[in-house]
Amino acid sequence: MSKKKLSLATYIFIGLLIGIVLGFLMKQLPSGTFRDTILVGGIIKFIGNGFINLIKMIVVPLVFCSLSYAVCDMSDFKKLGRISFKTITFYLATTALAVTIATILGLVLKPGAGLDLSQLIQGDYDISNSKPIVDMLLEILPTNPIKAMAEGNLLQIIVFALFFGVSVALIGEKGKILVNILDALNECVLKIVTMVMYVAPIGVCALIANTVYSVGLESLVSVAKMIGVVAIGMLIHSFVVYSGLLKVFTGLPVRKFLKEYSTVATVTFTTSSSNASLPVSMEAMEKLGVDKSVYSFTLPLGATINMDGTAIMQGVAAVFIAQVYGMDMSIQMILSVILTAVLASIGTAGAPGVGMITLAMVLESAGLPVDGIALIIGFDRILDMMRTTVNVMGDCVCSVIVADSEKELDREKYINC
C-alpha cells in the first residue's frame, strides 16, 4: 500500500519537473494560434483545470461523510465521559492553537510576498464586501442543507454533518444501519480520492507549466519559502507547545518522551498516515507506562480527529495563497481559516494526502482561490511527511497527559524507559 503511494508521489514529482520544463519551453515558442489557443488556452488549460475540478468534486462528499462518521463513531466512547471530555478538549484546543500560530507566522514571515499571480485568478473571489461578524456567524447555520451542498457552502455542511452524526449516535440501535452506510460511503469517497490522485501527475504537470509560463521561476522560490514557514510552525508546535504542555501537566522529563517518540516518527515519516502508524504509537505508549485503557481510546480517536500538523500546513497555505494572489486577508477571513481548519482537522482522514484535499475547503470558506493548491500540491509528499509526524505526536502527548491526570500512568516506567 505505502509502496504504491510512494511511487505515485514520485510520479507527481516527475510531473512537476516536466511541467517546469514545459513552462519554460512554452515561453520560448512564438506567440500564435498554436501556443496561445491550442497549447496554453486549450490542452494545458483543460488538463490543469480539469484536475482542479476533480478535487473540488470530492470536497463536499468527503467532508460530509468523514465528519458525520467521525462524530457518530465517537459516540462509542461517550461512556468514557471524563476521559473523552479531556481528550477532545485537548485535541480541539491544540489544533486551534496550531492553526493560529501558523496563520501568524504566515502573516509575519510573508512567504508569498514578491510573487504575483493575481493575473491567474479564475472565477470570482471578491473579498471587498466583508460582512459583520454576526452575519458571518448566522451564515454558518444552514436553512437548507441540500442547498448548502449544492452550493458547496462548507461551513453549513459541517454544521449539518455534526448534527447528523450526533443524531445517528443518539438514536442508538436504529442508527446502526446509518453508521454502516456512513462507514461504506466514507471508504467509497476515499477510493475516489485515490482515483483522482492517479491523474495528479499530469494535472500537476499542466498547472505548474502554466504557472512557470505565466510567472517564471520565482513561483518555486516562494513555495520553498512556504515550506520553510510550515516547518518553523511545526517545530514551534512540537517543541514549545507539546513539550511545554507535557512538562506543565505531568512534570515529567520531556526528553524521555521525545526519545520514545523518535521511533514512531520514523514510521509517520515514511507512511504519511496516522492510521498506519497506530501500532507503533501504541507500542511507544506502552513503553512509556500509559495504561492500555487510556491509549486504546486516545490514539485511534486522535488518528481520526486530531491533525495539528495538517492545520499548520493549511493555515500557512491559506495565508500564502492570499499573498501570491494579492489579496489582503480581513479579520473575518483569518477567523474563517482558523475555524474551518479546526473542523477540517476533524474531517481529515488519517491517510496520505487527505489534508491537501481538505485544504480546498479551508480556502473556499475563506473566499480564497482553490487554484492556489496547484502551486503546493507537487510538494505535498514532503509536507505530508512533516505534518503526519506532528499529528501523531499530538495524539501521543495527549495520551500521556490524560493518563497521568487519571492516575493511569506508570511514572516509574516512564522515568526508567
Residues within the interface to ligand ASP (CB under 6 A): 272-274, 307, 310, 348, 350-355, 384, 387-388, 391
Q: How many residues does the chain have?
A: 417
d(CA 155, CA 230): 25
Planar angle of CA 142, 162, 337, nearest 5 degrees? 75
Smallest distance from the beta carbon of 388 to ligand ASP, in angstroms? Answer: 4
Minimum CB distance to ligand ASP, residue 142 (Å): 26
Quote the cell numbers at residue 365.
470558506
Q: How far is the CB of 380 from ligand ASP (least distance, A)?
A: 8
Which grid cell sits at 25? 519551453
Backbone angles phi, psi at 129, to 5 degrees: -95, 65
Give whichever of 210 and 391 is closer to ligand ASP, judged by the CB atom.
391
Contacts of 265 (CB under 8 A, 6+ apart): 389, 392, 393
Residues 250 and 271 sit within 8 Å (Cβ to Cβ)? no
Closest approach of Cβ 251 to ligand ASP, in Å? 29
- Name the DSSP letter for residue 172: G
Please give the Cα distance from 345 to 342 (Å, whole number): 5
User: In terms of CB distance, is 66 or 348 closer to ligand ASP?
Assistant: 348
Please, which residue, 273 or 340, has the CB nearer to ligand ASP? 273
Find the shortest distance in angstroms from Cβ 331 to ligand ASP: 26
Q: Considering beta carbons, is residue 148 or 398 the nearer one to ligand ASP?
A: 398
Identify any residues that bridge with 409 across adjacent strands, giving them in sequence order. 290
Instruction: Report which residue type is found at 22.
Output: L
Which residue minimizes CB distance to ligand ASP?
Answer: 355
Query: How far lies 397's CA from each of 8, 201, 265, in Å?
Result: 32, 36, 13
Least Å distance, CB 86 to ligand ASP, is: 21
- Give whichever of 353 and 372 is closer to ligand ASP, judged by the CB atom: 353
Q: Which amino acid is at 383?
A: L
**Would you say 86 or 381 has its CB closer to ligand ASP?**
381
**Least Å from the CB of residue 182 to ligand ASP:** 19
The owner of cell 477540517 is 344
Residue whose CB is less far from ligand ASP, 22 or 59: 59
